[in-house]
Amino acid sequence: MMDEELKCPVCGSLFKDPILLPCSHNVCLACARNIIVQTPEGETLAHSRASNSDYDYLDMDKMSMYSETDSGYGSYTPCIKSPNGVRVFPPTLVHRHCSITCPLCHRSVSLDERGFRGFPRNRLLEAIVSRYQQSHSANVKCQLCDRNPVDATVMCEQCDVFYCTPCQQRCHPSRGPLAKHRLVPPTQLPAAGGQQMPAATLRKQGTCADHDTENFSMYCVNCKTPLCMKCLEGGKHGSHDVKPLAAMWKQHKCQLSQALNGVSDKAKDAKEFLVQLKNMLQQIQENGVEFEACLVAQCDALIEALMRQKAKLLTKVTKEREYKLKVVRDQITHCTMKLRQTTGMMEYCLEVIKENDPSGFLQISDALIKRVTSSQDQWVKGALEPKVGPEFDLTLNTDPLLQTIIQLDFVQSKVETATMPPAPLLQLEKCCTRNNSATLAWRVTVSPSNPIEGYILELDDGNGGQYREVYVGKETVCTVDGLHFNSSYNARVKAYNSTGVGPYSKTVVLKTSDVAWFTFDPTSAHRDIMLTNENQTVSCNSYDDRVVLGTAAFSKGVHYWELMVDRYDNHPDPSFGVARINTMKDMMLGKDDKAWAMYVDNNRSWFMHNNSHTNRAEGGISKGATVGILLDLNKHTVTFFINKEQHGPVAFENLDGVFMPAVSINRNVQVTLLTGMEVPKNFKQQ
């Protein structure tokens, strides 16, 4: 059973040189090279960004596509197919713009400049596979027998040779210089190249990937990774919760052991439940035969009219019996499968606990604890209860008069067949787009026998890629925000009830706006900010710089907007640019690492990010001036225009993700936002 835990999901064989992906699944190193995929240049995959957040994006996708619309949910046209259905490239493929997709959970992670060396090697799994191979391998043969080697009986640790008893007595007597050699039982595994190695060979202690000569001694709880002392001296983990490796190893082993106790109890209950189900099969068979005999006796005692009904009644009894048998057999099959999976996982976890590699254990312990807890949750209340009983709840009434015999039937009526819901009908007259939002409406034309419990709305990535769920609920109207501008989205919907999920509706194509129309956002602005003119004009009642963001969120494409200076007193230096939603609102835009901006006075301007001032240029602003911002997320650049004069473009680091227009001003400045604008015709790429 445990062998399923030790097989690579790509090649189906036992793991060989397994590497640990960020999603906690494993693949062989050679298989990883075969399932590499290439992403379009300039784009990255959101799954890699989500690797430090336990993949919570799935829950977020259920509600909205506001900030993760384009960040990696895509499908790229496959060519050569690998076992998990993704594009296969030659091993010489450059790692830049490449990613690997997990064949189990289908989450992707981008490769950095280290390539596959950036993934930790799962030494603990490798050791368990070796031990498993040892327990299932054939006996080791003597290495000195000339013909027809026999099974070895001893192995010399100093000579590293396997001997049968005659060869040991002839070639390795226990006297003279060989008397001090240690002979042990041949409990070893074949190594690479067909050579045999001692099982007693000690496994090397885990060493740091960044500092080859240092052993792991600490564990960062925030990063969930083992560290060496030089890692701590580097300062990267200075503010993190760092604990001794041995203490965390014992703590996680304890947690895994406690979780296994609960699953072990459930597995025991499942075994008893299977015995109960198998006994029920015999009871159903016996009760069915007994019921048929009773029915035949009753029908034979009636007049000829009853004989014509006997065949019908027997048919109903047979159907009831077959139904019960089918339900019980299906329940046995399902429970057996779940028990096998649970038992295999338990055996694997017990082998993991036996390992003495703290760093290797901690690499997989969190995932194993979650799996064990999840496995325990699968055995919900009612899962270990029979869905049907062995008794036949059919009653035959022989008291009615002869003229009513032809109407004789079982008291229990036939249960109406449950049906799945039909495909919803998209109401095209109510489906529309506004700016970068899409509204869809649908209805069901035919009511199923079982009431509809909800609907599932799916959209692709705006580029013809795979669909993903963006809404699950009972409403028949849904607005999806945060889509790409100037993109065409395919949408479809399906209904579900207690019977199952129905078919998809027809697909509708919705195109978002070519340019962005937006205003300043009063909900995220600093409290000293004042908005007028339907949130198009902004001023401030403080002498300190205060930040206000726009309502639009950009994550792909090229976008341009302008700000007109309505008032400019005492030569202040307002700042214009883009920022993430969590940028600081009580300081000049660009002083933290969440904003990219240009600040300008009446004579000159500077670019600023993370309080770093660069690219000083002559030319300032005054009342009536216009400042334009050109955000190019395809090339990761920002360009500014002061009175139509171009400044930039400037390439900034980490300019990827979701960004919003932003401005910082004080009480000496008032500006008005102008949106829905095309890129300036005099724009020059530099």
CA distance 166 to 168: 5
Residue whose structure tokens are 């379009």: 40
Phi, psi of 224 (to 5 degrees): 55, 50
pLDDT at 235: 73
pLDDT at 53: 39
Residue 392 near residue 291 (C-beta atoms within 8 A):
yes
**Other CB atoms closer than 10 Å to residue 436's CB: what's the count?**
27
Cα dihedral across residues 313, 316, 318, 320: positive or negative: negative
pLDDT at 132: 77
Q: How confident is the model at residue 589 (pLDDT cuts 50, 70, 90)?
A: very high
pLDDT at 439: 93
Contacting residues for 33 by C-beta, under 8 A, at least 6 apart: 91, 116
Whether pLDDT at 486 is above 70:
yes
Contacting residues for 299 by C-beta, under 8 A, at least 6 apart: 306, 307, 309, 310, 313
Whether pLDDT at 550 is above 80:
yes
262-274 average pLDDT score: 84
Percent of the chain scored above 70 by pLDDT?
81
Instruction: List the single range of 83-97, 270-284, 305-319, 536-550 with lowest mean pLDDT.
Output: 83-97
pLDDT at 621: 93
Q: How far apart are the first and last CA of the chain?
A: 62
Closest CA relative to residue 107, chosen from 86, 79, 82, 77: 86
pLDDT at 55: 36
Mean pLDDT for the chain overall = 79
Whether pLDDT at 498 is above 80:
yes
Cα dihedral across residues 46, 47, 52, 53: positive or negative: positive
pLDDT at 516: 86
**pLDDT tens digits along 167-195:** 988 888 888 888 888 887 775 444 433 44
**pLDDT tens digits along 507-529:** 999 988 888 889 999 998 999 99
Percent of the chain scored above 90 by pLDDT?
23
**pLDDT tens digits along 102-158:** 888 888 888 877 777 778 878 788 888 887 777 665 567 888 887 788 888 888 877
Whether pLDDT at 567 is above 90:
yes
CA distance 492 to 467: 9
Going through 6-152 in order, the beta strands assigned E by DSSP cover 18-20, 26-28, 36-38, 98-101, 108-110
pLDDT at 312: 81
Write the CA distances from 145 to 148, 171, 187, integer angstroms. Answer: 7, 11, 19
Phi, psi of 314 (to 5 degrees): -65, -40
Q: How confident is the model at residue 66 (pLDDT cuts 50, 70, 90)?
A: very low
358-364 average pLDDT score: 88
At 622, list the tokens: 């005054």
**pLDDT tens digits along 297-339:** 877 776 666 676 777 888 888 888 888 898 899 889 888 888 8
Closest CA relative to residue 351, chosen from 161, 125, 163, 582: 125
Closest CA relative to residue 520, chosen from 671, 627, 678: 671
Q: Quickly list DSSP for 117-173.
A: GGSPB-HHHHHHHHHHHHHHSPPPBPSS-SSSPPBP-EEETTTTEEE-HHHHHHHS-
Burial classification of residue 390, based on how many CB atoms lie within 10 Å of its CB (0-12 exposed, 13-18 middle, 19 or more buried): middle
At 157, list the tokens: 């640790």
Query: SS3 helix, strand, coil % of the chain, rounded to 5?
Result: 30, 25, 45
Residue whose structure tokens are 């969120």: 553
Higher pLDDT, 153 or 377: 153
**pLDDT tens digits along 213-251:** 788 788 888 888 888 888 887 777 778 888 888 888 888
359-384 average pLDDT score: 82
36-59 average pLDDT score: 44
pLDDT at 109: 83
**pLDDT tens digits along 7-43:** 888 888 888 888 888 888 888 988 888 887 766 554 4
Phi, psi of 451 (to 5 degrees): -60, 145
pLDDT at 681: 80
Q: How confident is the model at residue 417 (pLDDT cuts 50, 70, 90)?
A: very low
Closest CA relative to residue 624, chosen from 570, 663, 669: 669
β-bridge partners, 162: 155
Closest CA relative to residue 546, chosen from 464, 389, 664: 664
pLDDT at 469: 92
Q: Which one-letter DSSP state was computed for residue 277? A: H
Contacting residues for 160 by C-beta, under 8 A, at least 6 apart: 197, 198
Distance of CA 446 to the CA centre of its chain: 36
At 350, list the tokens: 């017990």
**Other CB atoms closer than 10 Å to residue 254's CB: what's the count?**
11
Residue type at 581 in one-letter notation: I
pLDDT at 597: 93
The strand pair at 575-579 and 468-473 is best described as unpaired
Burial classification of residue 134, based on how many CB atoms lie within 10 Å of its CB (0-12 exposed, 13-18 middle, 19 or more buried): middle
Whether pLDDT at 164 is above 70:
yes
pTM over 0.85, yes/no: no
Residue 128 near residue 109 (C-beta atoms within 8 A):
no
pLDDT at 303: 64
pLDDT at 656: 72
Closest CA relative to residue 236, chosen from 259, 210, 256, 255: 210
CA distance 487 to 511: 6
Q: Which one-letter DSSP state was computed for residue 501? A: B
Q: How many residues does the chain have?
A: 686
pLDDT at 264: 83
CA distance 620 to 565: 12
**pLDDT tens digits along 607-663:** 999 898 888 888 899 999 999 999 988 888 899 999 988 888 888 777 677 899 999
pLDDT at 584: 93
Cis peptide upstream of residue 386 (ω within 30 degrees of 0)? no
Whether pLDDT at 88 is above 80:
no
